[in-house]
Amino acid sequence: MLYYTKGSGGNGIDTVYFVDTTGKACPAGVGLPVPGAPLPTQADAYDPATGQPAGDMCVLAGFPTGLAKSIKTPDTGAPANTADFGSLLFANPTTLYVADSGNGNDAYSNGTYTAAAAQNLSGIQKWSLVDGAWTYDYTLNAGLGLGQPYTVAGLPTGTNTVTNRPWTPAVDGIRDFTGKTNPDGSVTLYATTTSVGGVSDYGADPNKLVTVTDQASATAAPAGAQFRTLQSAAAGDVLRGVSFTPGS
């Protein structure tokens, strides 16, 4: 079964999707996969008049269904307001982790990127399949230091006169990650962060490689689930995707 996310831009629905080749899983555009569905054999249809997917593209039941351009509220607590999904990972058939890369807002005051620091959903979200729909459990972001500037080797100190923000970046969320389920039922995740900061090209802000371990069976964030940094990118570097070497 093919699952994917859309998490950026002002059109369409920023959510989690799956491909239905049976024509039975989502008659209203939202549903769950049909067991034994075959692989797709042709491209999905697309309606250029509305900008919406058609054909085999289905929103995974329980995830947001509102159009991105209609969601204007800040990212402060409701999963429906999540606007930038990234990677996803099934720990088991009823446990799904989804990255939220943050709101990209670089508002800064009193030594903190305030909009980034105020986010509750940014990080790695955990969802559980309950009674035929995916239900949001919690977000792993403790230890990321959302919105808190950190020193990067090679970057100037002080304020970037182009952006009027400090040169030092801060973590905004998680975009790409991978993971593994351990014999004790825990799940170890490895992720690359997104950043806000004073570099004039936002996509070029140095970021981090981080890791966290969660309990697959938990429905509330375990107290000990804290991200720790494995590597920080230096000035001029950005860490992107992360995956295991085959056979390792």
Q: What is the pLDDT of residues 113-156, one digit of tens each?
A: 999 999 999 999 999 999 999 999 999 999 999 999 999 988 88
User: Is 162 exposed, middle or buried, given 0-12, 13-18 or 19+ CB atoms closer than 10 A?
Assistant: exposed
Domain range annotation of the chain: 1-72, 79-248
Backbone angles phi, psi at 143, to 5 degrees: 90, -10
- Write b or e for each residue in 29-48: b if 16 or more Cβ atoms lie within 10 A of its Cβ, otherwise e: ebbbbeeebeeeeeeeeeee
| 202 DSSP 8-state letter | G
- Give residue-wise pLDDT tens across range 171-190: 999 999 999 999 999 999 99
Q: How far apart are CA 72 and CA 65, in angstroms?
A: 14
Site of tokens 């919690």: 138
User: Per residue in 209-232, pLDDT tens?
Assistant: 999 999 999 999 888 899 999 999
Within 13 A of 83's CA, how many CA atoms are on the CB side?
21
Is residue 243's pLDDT more than 80? Answer: yes
Angstrom distance (rounded) from CA 94 to CA 217? 10
Task: Give the mean pLDDT of the chain.
Answer: 87
pTM for this predicted structure: 0.88
